[in-house]
Structure 1
Amino acid sequence: MLPYTDVPIQRRLFSNCEKARTWYSHLNNYPGLFGAAANSSEKYVTSIGVPPLAQSKLQQSGFYTPYGAFPVILANHSVGLVWYNNMLRGPAMQGPYGSNESGDNDGKATSNNVSWDTKQTTVVAILGGIGKIVREALKEDCKYQMFYDRIDASYSKQFPKLLGEEIPFALPSVTAPHNVGREDFTLCQSK
């Protein structure tokens, strides 16, 4: 929501984090990206991430969520859309209300939940986010420079050097499974 990526060090750090997420799914042959969402048993799973980089224990996800692409879309629009498209290709991953909440990595089950956060965050990201709107409001309130300086000072101090910036984003290494006995919604069949 805030224009964090206006600050070069924060933009670079954000990009590196999203690269790590794409590489984790790519190297482990996951068809999608992770994010807190309801899984196919309708349990809302919040401790999701990249285990080798996590500071706390993460749950094994076994599922992906199309909205997991929204931060990647903000960091690299085209790469994020490739991941989003790949996840939507899974069986029953698009329904009458848009993208589905989540799908199992093997394609055999999906979540039946419909939630705002797993739909609209991606749409907002595709449209470029709302950082521009908030930036203008901060400038109008004469708080933008204070915001910028505080973020710049904090992140520059914590991350004087970033490793891996030369590594590109990874694309999906596998296509979301389809033809696994799970049908698409009648009006949303993939071609």
Structure 2
Amino acid sequence: MSTKLNIQAWCSVKNGTVSCNGKKIVSTDNEQTFSEFAKQIYKEQQWEYPKFYKMDRLSKLTFMTAEILLNEVTISSEEKEQLAVVFSNKSASLDTDRNYQNSINSIENFYPSPAVFVYTLPNIGMGEVCIRHKIQGENAFFVFDDFNPLFLKQYAESLAQNNKATQVLCGWTEIDEKGYKSFLYLASPNGTLPHTEETITKLYTQS
């Protein structure tokens, strides 16, 4: 029997602001760099995951959003076996690709940076989330020109209808030279908001 999904929780991280389930929980000086902002959130939330500091910017953004969101819900180890992850963005890992290319072009380095090369795929941040929370379900990362709520809805519900997932962590996580925004939500039978294109769009827009 397939699982009916509703939206249980959501979180947004955008240019110095963190909102969760419609409530602003962090608001900082927009003049901060992303790295300064990420470091502040890490310390304020008192996370104990030193690997965070080694991540690229996209992975940090994805990790932060998922960490705050998943700390708002209770998901058992058994449920995590059926928790799928579906993320998306516009520029894939371009932000990190540029940094890697700069390390190649630098006359000060004989070799490009392997520490940066590790993150030259957009799904690496998703993998960091899965490792951190021991998520074992299916996962996929898609690239679109813009936020695509209809696709997220249809893909998540397809996973549920085909008994490949009972809950799905969905969303958008994008960072470039102009700014950053990550919006993730948990589609679950425990949710109270309808899992519709309209609702997803509304939450994304208001976050």
Q: TM-score range by the shorter chain?
A: 0.3 to 0.5
Structure number with higher strand proportion? 2
Superposition TM-score, scaled by structure 1 size? 0.33
Say which one has the larger Rg: 1
TM-score computed with the length of structure 2 as normaliser = 0.32
